[in-house]
Structure 1
Amino acid sequence: MPGELSDAKPVVPKIQQLTDKMKSEIEAKENKTYSVFKAVEYKTQVVAGTNIFIKVQGDPNEFLHLRVFEPLPQENRRPSLTSYQIGKTASDPLNYF
């Protein structure tokens, strides 16, 4: 249903590729280099496009939550990082943020 957050899903190649594209932007904002940047799970929210919430392992014991907006195809725009949270753990659930 539009607007609702989906259940957590296992990562597919498209989500890891999207995560990889966001790595340098987050590293620049945090002034930090992550040794790992592996998507662990994701959820989606259909809006006027799609919000993709991704749980990412950034270091062996550190996780991040990313929110990436993927516009509708006819808008001919690239996905963009709209927000993120650092200092998460493997057990923290992905929620709206």
Structure 2
Amino acid sequence: MMCGAPSAVQPATAETQDIADQVRSQLEEKENKKFPVFKAVSFKSQVVAGTNYFIKVECGPQEGLPGTGAGRKPPAQAWALWSQ
């Protein structure tokens, strides 16, 4: 993987599920809904000044389709969140 370029899509791992779990409440607050399921399905990562994770998350049957969330792990290991 080149610095700055995102990786290829990979199956979710325990680490990406942990990241998704850490940002779940932020996303639920932002979207103003509770997700009955929040399962990481796949992800891409991008090494910059820290690591960006782009995680596809299954959000439950009421959504119809998987959603996409993202977490950013800067060097200090704090998390930020945005949705697409």
TM-score, normalised on structure 2? 0.87
Higher relative contact order (CA 8 A, sep 6+): 2
Q: Structure 2: give runs of 5+ residues left out of the alignment.
A: none
Query: Which residue in 1 is equivalent to 2:79?
Result: 79
8 Å contact kept, 2:73–2:80: yes
Larger relative strand fraction: 1
Query: Which residue in 1 is equivalent to 2:55?
Result: 54
TM-score, normalised on structure 1? 0.77
Q: Structure 1: give runs of 5+ residues left out of the alignment.
A: 86-97
1:15 paired to 2:49: no
Q: What is the root-mean-square deviation in Å for CA atoms of aligned residues?
A: 1.2
Q: Deviations over 1:38-87 (max 9, x none)?
A: 00000011111111000000112232211211012xx3x42221x212xx
Question: How many pairs were matched up?
Answer: 81
8 Å contact kept, 2:7–2:45: yes
